Structure 1
Amino acid sequence: MTDTGKGLVLVVEDERPIADLVRLYLSREGYGVQVEHDGTAGLAAARRLHPVACILDIALPGMDGTEICRRLRADGDWTPVIFLTARDDEVDRIVGLELGGDDYVTKPFSPRELVTRVKALLRRAAVVSETDRVRTLGTLVLDPGRRTVTADGRALTLTATEFDLLAHLLGRPGRVFTREELLAAVWGYASHAGTRTVDVHVAQVRAKLGPAAGLIRTVRGVGYTADA
């Protein structure tokens, strides 16, 4: 384990050459890195070390990455999670996002792209501006400064990405955002990464909104809007 000023990133990857490469690139960017090679050890490390982010391979010995994420979320731990997946494992990617993952990168991947994803995710999770106005739509109240959301007076627990997606939609009620625009604005990368990520996160946000879910409307063939 290395410990530096930007915080510790936990990498759980059983392919050692990949794990070593990810460690190298993250270390170069000033992050501390803890590497584990099986799921059971990875979950224990996440609970013990409280990293700023977790990079989880989905296919792991002992316990897969989606199960690690599920158990962390069940503990109330909303540490940002990026999944590493095989290129053809769309079902695994969707399941991972539905369990509370924030992003995924498909193998083979560019280590620089992965580091960029980590940095973007941590920037989103850390941005707190007390001057941002509280956003209200129907029974929804979103406070960017405190990063809190209530619906019908009920406090919601959102991942960093779910919060930022909802905040972006509420920032301009009635404005229809394409999936590509949401990918660029919320995830910080271009449309070639795949728009299915947006659909899954919108579905997750709606599930958590409960009766207020209808405020987020699908515009067929275009994208999404928060009804004004």
Structure 2
Amino acid sequence: MAQLLILTPTVNSDVLPALGLLNHQMRQIPAEPAQLINAPSCDLLIVDARQDLANARSLCKILKTTGINVPLLLVLAEGGLAAVNADWGIDDVILENAGPGEVDARIRLVIGRQSQDHLSNKIHASGVVIDEASYSAKVHGRPLDLTFKEFELLRFLATHPSRVFTREQLLSEVWGYDYFGGTRTVDVHVRRLRAKLGDLESLIGTVRNVGYRFNLHDDENENRAQSVRS
């Protein structure tokens, strides 16, 4: 059962009649940007575009611009299908007269895709969770305050666990070939990154006279598949 939030210009109307035959929980609010500030949490946003395509399109673009983290489903009358394109930023469309089987399937699929996409953007390794979509990282649930290059360095090492990289290789992979600084910048960033990792500073290991690597816990060494992308 999913929590659905319906944005419609005609609150209390049957935007998608088949929903009344399903077990999902629904709430309706006016389809206005101001209503989004205190909007309740949900698993899926449904935008009613049956009568006003222009306003629905504007609302969808606002929702995507503000960075919503749930999928967006558009309800249309059949005549509105020709107006929809990728620029709307929606995840799926459905006709207002769709039957309960189709409605339920689309809800499950669009929420499932969002969940898979979210997981695929995360790297789990030795207590560290790196979210590539939001450029953020956590250690045992504690957010790390990383600079962009610190994040990129951690992400690169974590996606190649146990592999040793020279300072020159890290400069090339993380800073790029057009970077003219010396290898000392790698040492400085590693030192800062270790300080921010705290008790897990040993995750960034030093291989004397070679470079650095991301160390795995012993149990993860036995199953390296668990330490890369979920």
Per the normalisation by structure 1, the TM-score is 0.45
Per the normalisation by structure 2, the TM-score is 0.44
Structure scoring higher RCO (CA < 8 A, sep ≥ 6) equals 2
Q: Which has the larger radius of gyration?
A: 2
